[in-house]
């Protein structure tokens, strides 16, 4: 006896959305468990919290392990599979999108913080924290120059593990202290992959392979196969995401001192940032997406729900990158576009971070009752944009770049401690917006580049072999 069509449709729906639903359930279950444990038991030690977060830590480590091989192979194979003119067109469209959305985010944040003025009347318990003290010992020129130095790495192997950083230190043997601008400095290596350097190297290598044509085909096949292998491993890892995300969120909530007291003291600041992120994610980006594609983005956002839930749980756009690429492959986006735009976007496109840092700087200025001019606001806009590009795609990486923005306003770097109490929570929301902006930008660039890509395929008479990777017929983007 044939089964009803409704039963078949339900089975197909469950097969397509099971992982997404499990991940969303993991986010809410982790939050609920964290609240229950925190309110029903006493204080937990750091070791006990570490035990709770252990499954999530393993999940995060597995994702981070995929970043470097996936990033290098994806960008190299994507650029190498296109001619130079096609690569430049896709890059130009992607960078134009990133620039427009980042500037829009900063302007929106500044408009909200100057109209709502959350810093007036705020009552914040100031705490000095070791991480803030370490972040305070940086200068804006050093941060900007280190950003450029990291783009042009001198050791590609070292870049997989470390970033260049200029460290300044005070000469304590002098009779009186010197200003920070006159402190001694030395080159140092900070732990963490130099993603900017890897992206730059991969773009140059991919361009070179593309120009070599037949001679470079062996290298092109290697990086294409490596990219496929990394995506296969990603498809295995993502089934752990509901469990990992749940434990990460539960541990973070247990670790907080008092959620209610924290949000009460920084309530208007929290609301201003959240309002800005919401309006940018579902307003500004939606308008830009509609103007480029003549379609609303909300159907695509719904398909990205599993990726966005993972981004919220991990707080890392870089760690979420393998899942984002996998999801876009399943939506039928051309892998040559996906494998170039997503890794670059996860590195330089931080809309949520740019908005957050602009709001935070002016909030602290308002709290300190410091007057600021239109020129200061413009300076904050430019610095917040530059700082968001330099921020690593890892949890709370904006702490150091936040110091750079405060320096622009003329505030003390230690004032970062005023907002750090809610930084971990806002960090997850802004990471979610960052990832969503990258994904929608990829769909937009793919739409604008579709005719050019089809022309390339006709000329070579070889549709790209990655087109069907992870994609089902019913998932493909509709014309």
H/E run at residue 163 = strand 162-169
Determine contact, residues 4/463, Cβ cutoff 8 Å: no
Q: Residue 190 pairs with which residues in a beta bridge?
A: 163
CB 150 within 8 A of CB 408: no
Res 280 pLDDT > 90: yes
- Location of structure tokens 């940086």: 138
| pLDDT exceeds 50 at position 14 | yes
- Assess contact for 273 and 426: CB atoms under 8 A: yes
CB-based contact 320:345 (threshold 8 Å): no
Question: Nearest-CA neighbor of 381 among 393, 372, 370?
Answer: 372
Q: Averaged over 214-239, what is the pLDDT?
A: 88
Of the listed ranges 173-177, 285-289, 325-329, the one predicted with least confidence: 173-177
Higher-pLDDT residue of 222, 144: 222
By three-state DSSP, how is residue 167 classified? Answer: strand
In this predicted structure, what is the pLDDT of residue 265? 65
Longest dimension (CA), the chain: 94
DSSP 3-state helix, strand, coil percentages of the chain (rounded to 5)?
Answer: 75, 5, 20
- Answer for the pair 81, 210: CB distance below 8 angstroms, yes or no: yes
First to last CA, the chain: 37
H-assigned helices in 41-139: 46-80, 84-116, 130-136
**Mean pLDDT, rounded, for 442-468:** 72
Please give the Cα distance from 255 to 251 (Å, whole number).
Answer: 6
Q: Residue 387 and residue 106: Cα distance in Å, rounded?
A: 11
Predicted confidence at residue 70, as pLDDT, reads: 85
Minimal CA–CA distance to 435: which of 293, 322, 332? 322
Tell me the pLDDT band of 476, cut-offs 50, 70 and 90.
very low
As a whole number, mean pLDDT of residues 156-178 equals 80
The CATH architecture to which 15-453 belongs is: Orthogonal Bundle (1.10)
Position 170 pLDDT exceeds 60: yes
How much is the average pLDDT of 340-350? 82
pLDDT at residue 477, rounded to an integer: 43
Residue 172: strand, helix, or coil: coil
* DSSP for 61-86, written as a single string: HHHHHHHHHHHHHHHHHHHHTS-HHH
* Higher-scoring residue by pLDDT: 159, 394: 159
Pair of tokens at residue 271: 């609301």
18 pLDDT tier (thresholds 50, 70, 90): confident
pLDDT digits (tens, 9 = 90+) for 81-123: 776 777 788 888 998 999 899 899 999 999 999 998 887 766 6
Q: Do residues 280 and 351 lie in contact, with contact meaning Cβ atoms separated by under 8 Å?
A: yes
Q: And the tokens for 184?
A: 């001694």
CA–CA separation, 19 and 38 (whole Å): 28
Task: Answer yes or no: are the C-beta atoms of 267 and 45 closer than 8 Å.
Answer: no
pLDDT higher than threshold 90 for residue 446: yes
Q: What are phi and psi of 375, to 5 degrees?
A: -60, -40
Q: What is the mean pLDDT of the chain?
A: 80
Q: Are 67 and 321 in contact (CB under 8 A)?
A: yes
Contact 250, 30 (CB under 8 A): yes
pLDDT score at 469: 44
Domain assignments of the chain as residue spans, ordered by start: 15-453
- CA dist 36 → 31, 158, 165, 476 (Å): 9, 44, 42, 42
Question: What is the band of 335 on the pLDDT scale with cuts at 50, 70, 90?
Answer: confident
Assess contact for 396 and 424: CB atoms under 8 A: yes
Locate all alpha helices (DSSP H) within 391-476, ordered by sequence. 398-409, 423-460
């Amino acid at each position: 006896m044939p089964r009803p069509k409704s039963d078949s449709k339900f089975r197909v729906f469950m097969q397509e959305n099971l992982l997404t639903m499990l991940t969303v359930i993991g986010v809410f279950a982790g939050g609920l468990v964290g609240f229950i444990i925190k309110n029903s038991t006493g204080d937990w030690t750091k070791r006990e919290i570490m035990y709770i977060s252990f499954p999530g830590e393993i999940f995060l480590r597995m994702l981070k392990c995929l970043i470097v091989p996936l990033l290098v192979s994806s960008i190299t194979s994507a650029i190498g599979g296109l001619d130079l003119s096609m690569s430049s067109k896709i890059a130009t469209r992607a960078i134009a999108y990133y620039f427009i959305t980042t500037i829009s985010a900063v302007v929106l944040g500044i408009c909200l913080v100057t109209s709502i003025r959350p810093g007036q009347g705020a009552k914040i318990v100031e705490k000095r924290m070791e991480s803030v003290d370490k972040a305070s010992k940086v200068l804006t020129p050093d941060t900007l120059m280190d950003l450029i130095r990291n783009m042009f790495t001198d050791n590609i192997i070292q870049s997989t593990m470390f970033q260049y950083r200029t460290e300044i230190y005070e000469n304590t043997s002098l009779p009186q202290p010197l200003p920070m601008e006159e402190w001694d400095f030395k080159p140092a290596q900070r732990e963490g992959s130099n993603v900017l350097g890897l992206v730059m190297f991969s773009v140059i290598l991919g361009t070179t392979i593309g120009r070599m044509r037949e001679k470079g085909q062996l290298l092109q096949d290697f990086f294409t196969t490596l990219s496929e292998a990394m995506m296969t491993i990603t498809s295995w890892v993502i089934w752990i995401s509901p469990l990992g995300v749940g434990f990460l969120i539960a541990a973070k909530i247990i670790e907080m001192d008092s959620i209610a007291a924290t949000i009460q003291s920084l309530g208007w600041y929290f609301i201003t940032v959240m309002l800005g992120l919401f309006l940018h994610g579902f307003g500004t980006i939606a308008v830009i997406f509609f103007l480029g594609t003549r379609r609303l983005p909300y159907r695509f956002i719904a398909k990205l729900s599993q990726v966005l839930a993972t981004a919220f749980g991990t707080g890392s756009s870089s760690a979420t990158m393998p899942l984002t690429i996998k999801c876009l492959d399943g939506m039928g986006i051309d892998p040559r576009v996906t494998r170039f735009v997503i890794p670059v976007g996860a590195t330089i496109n931080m809309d949520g971070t740019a908005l957050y840092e602009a709001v935070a700087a002016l909030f602290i200025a308002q709290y300190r009752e410091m007057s600021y001019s239109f020129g200061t606001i413009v300076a904050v806009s430019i610095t917040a944009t530059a700082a968001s590009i330099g921020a690593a795609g890892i949890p709370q990486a904006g702490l150091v770049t936040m110091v750079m923005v405060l320096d622009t306003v003329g505030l003390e770097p230690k004032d970062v401690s005023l907002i750090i109490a809610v930084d971990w929570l806002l960090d997850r929301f802004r990471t979610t917006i960052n990832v969503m902006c990258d994904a929608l930008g990829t769909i937009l660039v793919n739409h604008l580049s579709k005719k050019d890509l089809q022309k390339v395929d006709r000329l070579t008479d070889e549709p790209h072999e990655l087109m069907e990777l992870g994609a089902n017929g019913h998932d493909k983007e509709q014309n």
